[in-house]
Amino acid sequence: MMKTIRRGLKGDEGFTLIELMVVVMIIAVLIAIAIPSFLGFRKSAQDRSAQSDIRNVLLSEKAYWLDNGDYTETAADITAFEPNAVINANPASGVALQLNATTSDTVCLTRTAASGNTFAIWESSTLGTWYGATDLSVTCPDAAPGAYAQGGW
């Protein structure tokens, strides 16, 4: 009789339904914790990418200004200094350049990140660099917008 019971137990391997459900529950809790963190990191990375794009174009603008005494709206002039720069009139698909209507010594750069956040730089050869979050791709003001600050976003 004992030999029969032992034989039955010997072939009885595997997990019970309860054990499998506990493992699935633990995995679900871990995923529920990880996904919001991942999405937050992704949004932050998208914002940093857009900011980096604008800064790279700004450096090209400054290099162009040193050579010519004025800023430029011409994409070819920028890509001569920064071949990887993506210049586009639409800030959602590249950096939008806009010169001030009064003077070409002021330039506005705008880029909208994949996260939906807009970043802009207002640069003047005499007043410096100002950072903000409003779209300046249509009209580049004579003075730095009120909500802008020097030093970064």
What percentage of residues in the chain have a pLDDT greater than 70? 92
Q: Is the pLDDT of residue 12 over 80?
A: no
DSSP string, 36-92: HHHHHHHHHHHHHHHHHHHHHHHHHHHHHHHHHSS----HHHHHHH-TT--B-SSTT
- Work out the pLDDT band at 7, boundaries 50, 70, 90: low
Please write the tens of the pLDDT for every residue from 99-127.
998 888 999 999 999 999 999 999 999 99
CA distances from 52 to 36, 59, 65, 110 (A): 24, 11, 20, 12
Please write the tens of the pLDDT for every residue from 38-79.
888 999 999 999 999 999 999 999 999 999 999 999 999 999
Whether the pTM exceeds 0.85: the reply is no
- Cα separation, 75 vs 77, in Å, equals 5
The contacts of residue 31 (CB under 8 Å, 6+ apart) are none
Please give the mean pLDDT across all residues of the chain.
89
What percentage of residues in the chain have a pLDDT greater than 90? 70
- Cα separation, 101 vs 141, in Å, equals 8
Residue range 126-146: mean pLDDT, rounded: 93
Considering only CA atoms, which of 128, 138, 108 is closest in space to residue 120? 108
- Cα separation, 72 vs 107, in Å, equals 8
Q: Is the pLDDT of residue 84 over 70?
A: yes
Residue with tokens 């506005």, as numbered in its chain: 108
